[in-house]
Each structure stands twice: as structure tokens, then as C-alpha cells.
Chain A
Amino acid sequence: MAIKPLIVSVTSGKGGVGKTFVSINLAATLARRGQKVLIVDCDLGLANIDIMLGMTPQYTLQDVIFGKLELKDVIIPTKGGFDLIPSSSGVREMAQLLFEKIELIKAMILSFTDYDVILLDTGAGISEVVLQFNLLASKNVVVINRELTCLTDAYSMIKVMFQVFGREAFSIVVNSVTDEKEADRLFSHLDSIGKKFLGFSLQNLGYIVTDNAVPKSILRQELIVLTEPSSRVAQNFRRISETLLFR
């Protein structure tokens, strides 16, 4: 890889599309490939990576912003083989972070040069906080599914990143599809609208099929790519990680 670390944001516009599911399973897949990976839970105020991994961290991003700790002090290793900077849930001030604090967090994230990949799991919506984390990342992975509201919000996210910051490169992951054909159709749909109205193409990063084992794994606070490495979902993640690193 040319630039180290590769900073990737996982975003979507709409909530409940599977951003955090994609982030943690992608992180675990990358870690299995030998990459040194860090996830930052950027869903300030409604963080849930720690919950999805069944962890109860002692310190969070909140202790960095409102306390005296540094970002490196709150990093914890996870069972997925990657490191995590957890955030806090239900703290209103966190969701309303002022610009200055975001700049501070961004500067700290950029100082972690010993990681190969840093994944920023953003919150839903297109608030300034979400946009700033997307801006920090060199790659923006937009997670979509077949719902129209999700496609519309994903497109809005892409459009605002383009209009406000001039971003023209976005990678799409299509979640919860029946097969590759459906994923390609949804990708092409969004891609053609991007080309027509914004004037640039999107990158097809891959897809994840619907599998009953997914909700089960979330309920059990497990990583499906580790508990069922031969499943189609795990294969999908391997392909996404391949495309992410080498294309």
C-alpha cells in the first residue's frame, strides 16, 4: 500500500443499513489478512461497536474530549484481532461536538502511523460531524441496501460531500442482497444517477448477501467472519477487503 495508514470511513446517510456490522467484520477480515487495523467509533453519542463486540470499555472517546486522556490511552484490543477506540452512548454533548473538538480528534487520528488501516465508523445522517470524518478518510465506503430511502440518503451523502468538499471518489458496498445480480443492479442504479447528475462514477466495492446467521451473530455479539469463515458472508467480506486494498 502506498499511503500508510489507509483511512477509510464507513458511512451511509440512513441509519440501520449495517454500517457497524460492515465495519467490524471488514476490520476482522483485514486483520486476518495480516493488516494492523484500528476502528474508531465515530458515532458520537450513539456509539455501539463495543456493544456489538460484547465489550464494556473503561474509557471512551468522551474521556479524550472532556477529560485528560489522549486518544492512544483509550485504544483497546478486540477479539476480532483489531484495535478499537470506543465512543460513548447516550451523551448529548458528544453528538453536538463543536468543530474545534472534531479538529482535535482528527489530528490525533492522523498521528497513528503504525496502523495499516484505520476504519472510521460514522453515525447516520449527514451532520457536520459525519461529513468531517468522511473528509478525513481517503476512501469513503457508502453502505446501501435495496430500500429507496437508503438509496436516496446515500445519494444525498455523496452529493453533499461532492458539493461541499469536492469529493468525487466513493466506494459502494451493497448490503443484504439475494445475490450478485441484485447487488450489481442496485450499484448500477446509483452509479448511473451519480454519472448523470454529478458527473462521476462510483466504485463497486462488493456486496454482502442476506444470511440468517447475520442477525444471530449480532445477537450473540460475535463476528460472523470469524465464527463462520466458510459462509458466503465471510467470502463476501474477503472480496470486499481485496478490492479495498488492491484496487
Chain B
Amino acid sequence: MQVGDIIKNDLRVTDFACRFGGDEFSAIMPASSINDSFSIAKRIQSSVAKLASTLHSDIKEHLSVSFGLAAYEAHAPISVADFFRQADLELYHAKKMGKNQISCVRVRDIVTTALSAEEKAALAGNITNNK
């Protein structure tokens, strides 16, 4: 409940968050870079740490928050399911690395498919024809 409030407070008005089942939350941040989402994740993390510091020591050590970040590129033809799977994989990775971690999607797969057919054709074009 309190963590939910923190998430709501620390996100921007343009962001959208919802509970994703169990102790997982999901946030969509339109028109943002991975760096933007990273700083927001850091902000939420420090708010949660502040909340933890007010709690009894038995509970305190169990309260941490991990993040998996993924970026959806407008040019990248991946499905919504694949996009969420990427974020989920990153979250899994973050949790594996310990408490309070932020993990970020590797952009390689997204980007290699992000080259348009025109760009690929231009790259493969006869190099000698280009002045």
C-alpha cells in the first residue's frame, strides 16, 4: 500500500503504473529514454529506503525494490508480449544480482532490427557509386 503510494508519487504525470500481480508493479513511461527511466527507478528506490528506515528492524531488512528496465523503440517491430518479457528478464536479472538492483535491457536485438529496409539497402549499395 505504502509502496504503491511511493510509486505513484515518484512517477511523472505522463507515466502510468499498475500492480502486476503479487509484489510486482509495472510502469509505462511514454516518450522517455532508458536514462530517464533509470533516474526514476533511482528515485523510487531512495523513497523506499526512506520508508524502510522508519520501520521496525525486523521488517526493514526485508524491504527492498528491484527494477527491470526495457525500452520500446518506435521502429522496432517487437510484440507487446516480447517487450514485457524483456522487462521481466531484466527484473529477474536484477533480483539475481542481489537486493535493490536496477537492470536494464540490452538494446542490441532491438536496434539491429531497427534499421529500415532503405537504410540496409543504402549500406549494401555499391560503395563506389557514392562519391
Given A126-B108, A156-B111, residue A186 in contact with residue B127 (CB < 8 A): yes
Residue B114 lies at the interface, judged by CB distance under 8 Å to chain A: yes
**How many inter-chain contacts with C-beta < 8 Å in the A-B complex?**
76
Of B8-16, B23-31, B57-65, B99-107, which stretch is located at the interface? B99-107
* Interchain CB contact (< 8 A) of A127 among B33, B108, B118, B123: B108
Residue A109 lies at the interface, judged by CB distance under 8 Å to chain B: no
Residue A163 lies at the interface, judged by CB distance under 8 Å to chain B: yes
Among A146, A151, A155, A189, chain B packs the most CB atoms within 10 A around the CB of: A189
- A128 near B105 (CB under 8 angstroms)? yes
Interface size class, chain B: 20 to 34
- Cα(A159)–Cα(B114), bound, Å: 9
- B123 near A151 (CB under 8 angstroms)? yes
- Cα(A144)–Cα(B105), bound, Å: 26
- A125 near B34 (CB under 8 angstroms)? no
- A192 near B120 (CB under 8 angstroms)? no
- Cα(A126)–Cα(B108), bound, Å: 5
Query: Which residue on chain B has the smallest CB distance to residue A151?
Result: B123
Query: Which residue on chain B has the smallest CB distance to residue A184?
Result: B131
A194-225 Cβ-contact flags toward B at 8 Å (1 or 0): 00110000000000000000000000000000
Shortest C-beta distance, A164 to chain B (Å), equals 6
- Cα(A185)–Cα(B128), bound, Å: 7
Given A159-B114, A185-B130, A197-B122, residue A98 in contact with residue B101 (CB < 8 A): yes
What A residues does B114 contact at CB under 8 A? 156, 159-160
- Cα(A127)–Cα(B106), bound, Å: 5
- B123 near A148 (CB under 8 angstroms)? yes
- A128 near B131 (CB under 8 angstroms)? no
- Cα(A27)–Cα(B102), bound, Å: 34
- Cα(A131)–Cα(B108), bound, Å: 10
B59-99 Cβ-contact flags toward A at 8 Å (1 or 0): 00000000000010100000000000000000001100100
- A160 near B111 (CB under 8 angstroms)? yes
* Interchain CB contact (< 8 A) of B123 among A131, A188, A193: A193
User: Which B residues have a C-beta under 8 Å from some C-beta of A?
Assistant: 33-35, 38, 71, 73, 93-94, 97, 101-108, 111-112, 114-116, 118-120, 122-125, 127-128, 130-131
Supplied contacts A99-B103, A126-B111, A159-B119, 7 more A-B pairs, CB within 8 Å: A127-B106, A128-B104, A156-B114, A165-B33, A188-B131, A189-B127, A193-B119
17 A-B residue pairs with Cβ-Cβ distance under 8 Å, sorted by A, are: A96-B97, A98-B94, A98-B103, A99-B102, A100-B101, A126-B108, A128-B105, A128-B106, A148-B123, A155-B119, A159-B114, A159-B119, A164-B34, A164-B35, A164-B107, A186-B127, A197-B119
